[in-house]
Amino acid sequence: MKAALKLFTEMGFHGTSTAQISKEAGVATGTLFNYFPTKEDLINGLYFDVKGQLSRSMGREIQAQSTFQDKLRKMWYNLIEWGLDNQNDFLFVGQFCSSPYITNYTREEVMKEYVFLHDLVKEGIANGEIRDYSEELTIAMFYQASRTVVNFILDSEPQDKNKVIEDGFQIVWEGLAKK
């Protein structure tokens, strides 16, 4: 799975042959198909795993934060830290989140892990912490903004990463918060 992840992000799903994957993994092609009946099963397993890790990283220590802003900031930092520490996983999710090879079943299973994010946003709107935009739009803007920051850091390699991360949060917070 690690080998496939690396190759998929470098050369895409169809661009990576099963022969390459097994070679990179140091096993025979037959072994690969022993564990994943088809190439699609492999990508779905990968997506499931990676999204699960992302979800778990994102929610880490959220409840320990006292204010709503701190909860959101903590989530922001979690998301970005995960992206920077797991670049292949980060790129993989970006490339394959809307890919036709991810089955609807996999997609739905993954969605179940993100309930707490919805709950947090709902709470923020209800308590008047953030503006009353559509919940889904708010989540999308927040999540994609964090991806933008990670991508920005990855391909512009700024001297002061931490400033970029905090600036990014300021932009998102000012954008969403009720004044």
Partner DNA sequence: CGCATAAATGACTAATTAGTCAATCTCAGA
Partner DNA sequence: TCTGAGATTGACTAATTAGTCATTTATGCG
Burial of 40 (0-12, 13-18, 19+ CB in 10 A): middle
Residue 145 near residue 168 (C-beta atoms within 8 A): yes
Q: Are 38 and 79 within 8 A, CB to CB?
A: no
Alpha-carbon separation of residue 165 from 98, 130, 146 (angstroms): 26, 20, 9
Scan residues 38-97 and list those touching DNA (CB under 7 A): 38-40
Of 127 and 134, the one with the shorter C-beta distance to a second copy is 134
Minimum separation from the CB atom of position 104 to DNA (A) = 19
Q: Of 5, 7, 8, 16, which one interacts with DNA (CB under 7 A)?
A: 16
Number of residues that bind DNA (CB under 7 A): 18
Residues near a second copy (CB under 8 A) are: 10-15, 95, 98-100, 131, 133-134, 136-137, 140-141, 144-145, 147-149, 151-152, 155-156, 158, 164, 167-168, 170-176
d(CA 16, CA 28): 16
Least distance from DNA to the Cβ atom of residue 25, Å: 9
Q: By CB under 7 A, tell whether 33 contacts DNA.
A: yes
Closest CA to 96 of 39, 165, 58: 39
* In the complex, minimum distance from the CB of residue 7 to DNA, in angstroms, rounded to a whole number: 10
Q: Which residues bind DNA (CB under 7 A)?
A: 14, 16-20, 27-31, 33-35, 37-40
